[in-house]
Structure 1
Amino acid sequence: MSDSVGETTSGGSRVLICVDGSHNAELAFNYYADHFHKPSNEIVLLHVADLVIPHSHLYYGMGVAMPTGSTESMLQSALEQERKKLKEIETKYRTKCKDAGMKHDFITKMKDNHGVGATIVEAAIKNNMTFIVVGTRGLGSIRRTILGSVSDYVLHHSHIPMLICPKHEEK
């Protein structure tokens, strides 16, 4: 590692690209690859996993969601679905990087109680990144205010420069 923070031994940057299987994440990856990537950069692909229990396994009554069956089997099912999704995402982006000749690594973090944005910021700091690339979900202003925005969180809680790619492709 070079003496400069986040700089590779070849003088490039360490770039964190957030991937989640969405079309918007792919647009962000492609935009970075087409417009910003340099051969000396090292790419770290980050997937933040979120275990979601399918609605079909929950019973809703009196304002509370309760498991309909064994909690252990539900968690096993959710974990297996997340593993399958992760493998597909990892294969897709490793192939894209290899085809483009990009030096890369792939890491997965579990979403914690602080949310996806906090997990991204923590991973960027821990991995000594110099640049962060994220896509947007393109929420309207009301939904974004209520639900929050991952890209907005990262922008305001990280001191690392970032590229936020909008949801629509250029025409």
Structure 2
Amino acid sequence: MDAVGTLRSSGVKIQEAYTPFPVHGLDDALGYKPSNLPIAAFLFGLTGTICALLLTIGTMGYDWPMDIGGKPYIPLPHFIPVTFELTILLASLGMVATFLVISNLKPWGHDPFMFDGRSTDDKFLLVIDLDKNKMDKDALTNLFKQTGASEVNSKIVENH
């Protein structure tokens, strides 16, 4: 966390950080904005509610109205289970799809890529795009060494 703060205060733009376990506060230190996933969940849930109500009201009230014991054609309390289930279904499926798109985890046409396999075991990685930073490679290497990096590697990565 201290290294991220030092690098960011030096003007280094960090593209991504890979850690073997969740580090609380790292998102704030990297300057990530809050996700819009809750807004998407609300919109997908609202879509599910509207679809369920249109389906049930359209079916029971207009397409096939039945007079059952003098009850109204559109009994809204009877539609609650269908409305609830469709709301949850569309909200959850929509959130999964939105998460996959936002995180660039599309299951089609994408080969898995890992900068270093040790990041899933015991190493912390910071990914820097040299083209987006004002410092040259040697200055960045020295800055990383000053912040306590045990190893500094450079890789050419295309289409990531």
TM normalised by structure 2 equals 0.30
- CA radius of gyration, larger in: 2
Q: Which of 1 and 2 has higher RCO (CA within 8 Å, sep 6+)? A: 2
TM normalised by structure 1 equals 0.28
Q: Which protein is richer in helix relative to its size?
A: 2
